Each structure stands twice: as C-alpha cells, then as structure tokens.
Amino acid sequence: MRILFIQPAVGHKPGGATYPKTWIMEPLALAVLSALTPRRVERLFMDDRLGEVDYAADADVVAMPVECYTAARSYEIAARFRAKGARIVLGGFHVKLNEAEAAANADAVILGDAETTWPQVVNDLEAGRLASRYVGCGGVFCPMPDRSLYAGRDYGRLNLVETSRGCSFNCEFCSVTKFFGRRYTPRPLDEVMTEVRSLEKDIVFFVDDNLAMDVERLKDLCRRMIPMHMHWVGQLSIHSAKDDELLALMERSGCAGVLIGFESLDAATLSDMGKRVNSSNSDYAAAIENLRRHHLSIYATFVFGYDHDTAETFERTFEFAMESRFFFAAFNHLVPFPGTDVHARFVREGRMLHDRWWLDPNVRFGDVVFRPKNFTPEGLAETCRRYRLRFYSTRSVFRRAMDVRANTHGLLKAAIFFASNFTQEREVMRRHGLPFGGDP
C-alpha cells in the first residue's frame, strides 16, 4: 500500500505568484503520521505550499491535515485524487469542528489527536475495512516525528517541537479550546529533550498553544535546555512576564523571543473577548520591561473589529507598539472561525456576511467576513493592511532597532531582526488577496 501525505496550501494566486515564505514551516503533523506508519507501507510526501502536488502520482491513500484556511484547497486536492480511486483521509482542527462538511469530501475523517487512531486507520486500510469515522483520545504523543519526510526541502532554520497541547483559557475567538475542550496535556519532558537532542538545526520553535500554562514545568524545560546551547522561541500568555525566576531561566536557556497575544489595549474589549488572563495582568508596560530586561524579543499580536474598536484604536495601538519597540507585531482583524464562540454569536446576531466563508470563491485572505460595528468590512480590512505596512516600513524598522536590549542584542539577533523585518512588507502583499484554493 502506498500512502501519499499532502500538506495543503491556503491557495495560489494566478500567474505563479510566490507563496508567503513565513507560512512555509515544517509540516509537523505529517511527520507525526509518517512516524506512526508501519515501515511496510510505502510513504510519499508532497507540499502544496511549494507547488509539489502531482495529480499523476500513484497513491492508494491520500492523507491531509485540514485547517479552516486550507479547507477549500484540501477538498480540491481530495476530489482530484478521489476521482482516480484513491481513498481520502482527512484530520485536523477544521475536520473536528466541521465534521459533516469534511466527511462529504473524504472516505474517512479523524476527529481529535491522531496518535491513538492512525495505526488503526492504516490496519483498516490494508484489510479493506476502512471506517468513515475515527475518534482519537488525548494524552498520547508521538515519541519521535519522522523528519526524514522533509528531505530536500527548505523549511528555514526553525525546528518545530511540541511539548504540550491545549489551553485552559477560553477566549471567544480561539478554536484551540473547542478542539481540546479546555484541556491542557503536557508531554513528558524526557521525551521532549530526546527529540531536541536529535535535531540538526539549532533554533527550536516550541509550538505549544501556551508554553506558560504550567509555569513550573516551563522552568524545568528551561533548565534542561541550558546545556543544549540552542536558541528557541515560543508562545505564552502575559501572566508569565511577572515571574523573574522564569524569565531569567528563559534567557539562560537560549530563549530569543516570545509571541504574546496582547489582543487589545481596551478593558471592555478584553472582557468581550473573554481574555481574562490579560484583564487580570493589565500592566503591559511592566511586563514588556521585564521581558526586555532579559533580552527577550516580543512578537505582539492584536485583534481588531470588536464593537469598542474605532479608528482611534488603531492609532493608539500602533503608538503603543512603537513605544514598546516590538520585534514583530500583527494587526489582525477578527476572524470568526467556524466552531468558535464568536462565530456562533455572529450567526445569532445576523452579522455573518457568508454562510461558509472559508469555501466561498469570492472571499480572499484578508477579507472581513462579518459586519463590524464601527467600520465597513472593507474599511476594517484595509485599515489592518495599512497599519501592517506602516509597522514594517523602513522608518519603523530602524526606530525599533534602537532597542538593543531585546531586538538587536548581539550580531546574530541584529542580523535576524533586519533580515526578517525588511521582508515583512513583501510578505504582507503576498498574503493579501490570496484565494482559498486553486492550483499553482
């Protein structure tokens, strides 16, 4: 039996336009599936983001992870291979939260974590008794993803490693808690470090939904990372910035920076979001100063489009981002992903512009798909794009480079800061207007 693993793209602009480089990271989920696949099974891999999908390939089975943004493209690819007689297996966040839709485009769907289901799926395929639905249970991690799957492809300098899954917070716009059920599941750190020691590249991106869900565990991870002499980055919530012992350990262990969801400077908006961790840790300036004191760069994310947001909100947030000298900042409009609380609320309020916007051929990446209170949909989308370009302008880059404690601390970090920031304007334009689906 021959299984073809495919990493779908969001879509492709006509004319062979370059796919956003910052979206092309290691497809960790497929490396996990490959590791769980018995060696007797032949495995192929294609990355649609790199333009590799070959519909002439001979495959008995096609397996794909599906996110909301990649759903349309995934279904296109599935239909082409299904027409040739291949069996289609789909999994991922979007599949669990939109089971009926995914099942209509597949022979089998995997709901939840694959570690406890994929071996059974493979056995059933070989026996000719594939079920239409498999439900995974949490708490089990693949000991060692099969990174040989990536051979011959350039996924940059980041190794993606998972140390836990889930988040116990319940933000209105987030799909993580809907997928994992507000459960936080840690992976054994001995297992994590075995994987880290196997890596060939020296920068690790710990892809956990919230590395600081268990602060004492994160301290333990940092202590284990110190003798590795590697650099790492990760995502964590702002409450962790109050813990000086943690920040000192992060610095010693090689942490170069963190992604933090600030989301809003407005208390009423944070309340509407259900972002209680930010509401109870509202002294952003003190948190930022603590991080900078330990030479930790900050990738700050903000969400716009809630009912208290106005044009002044953007300007205030931009000035805050510049004063804080963030390494990166994301000026994102609110996206009501299916299955989330905000999507359900907008449906009740009659504010959705499209029934299934992620499959609508007229919707592009960057479009606002609901009716904001204080903007037109087009106005909100354009304002986000304008502030992204403004933040990554040459003047802004040089102004933020003046933060030598965090952004340009050392020659290597300074080189990364300038190289990555000066490419962001181009990346903004590559993402803008990207269609959902379409061949390269």
Give pLDDT, residue 137: 86
- Superfamily name with CATH number, domain 157-431: tm_1862 like domain (3.80.30.20)
- Residue 418 burial (C-beta neighbours within 10 Å; 0-12, 13-18, 19+): middle
Residues 6+ apart with CB under 8 A from 393: 425
State pTM to two decimals: 0.95
Closest CA to 27 of 42, 41, 8: 8
Give pLDDT, residue 371: 98
CATH class of the 2-135 domain in this structure? alpha beta
Cβ atoms 85, 27 nearer than 8 A:
no
Q: How far apart are CA 316 and CA 263, in angstroms?
A: 13
Residuewise pLDDT in 10s, the chain (440 residues): 999 999 999 999 988 889 999 999 999 999 999 999 999 999 999 999 999 999 999 999 999 999 999 999 999 999 999 999 999 999 999 999 999 999 999 999 999 999 999 999 999 999 999 999 999 988 889 999 999 999 999 999 999 999 999 998 889 999 998 888 888 999 999 999 999 999 998 899 999 999 999 999 999 999 999 999 999 999 999 999 999 999 999 999 999 999 999 999 999 999 999 988 887 677 899 999 999 999 999 999 999 999 999 999 999 999 999 999 999 999 999 999 999 999 999 999 999 999 999 999 999 999 999 999 999 999 999 999 999 999 999 999 999 999 999 999 999 899 999 999 999 999 999 999 999 999 88
278: Cα separation from own chain's centroid: 20
Domain with CATH 3.80.30.20 in the chain: 157-431
Domain with CATH 3.40.50.280 in the chain: 2-135
Element spanning 16, H or E: none
Q: How far apart are CA 373 and CA 272, in angstroms?
A: 14
Cβ atoms 164, 186 nearer than 8 A:
yes
Give pLDDT, residue 433: 94
Q: How far apart are CA 195 and CA 403, in angstroms?
A: 34
Cross-sheet strand order for the sheet of 87-91: 42-47, 2-7, 61-65, 87-91, 108-111, 133-135
Find where tokens 């333009």 sit. Answer: 51
Q: How far apart are CA 427 and CA 278, in angstroms?
A: 29
The dihedral over CA atoms of 125, 127, 130, 136, expressed in degrees to the nearest 10, equals -70
Give pLDDT, residue 22: 95
Give pLDDT, residue 279: 74
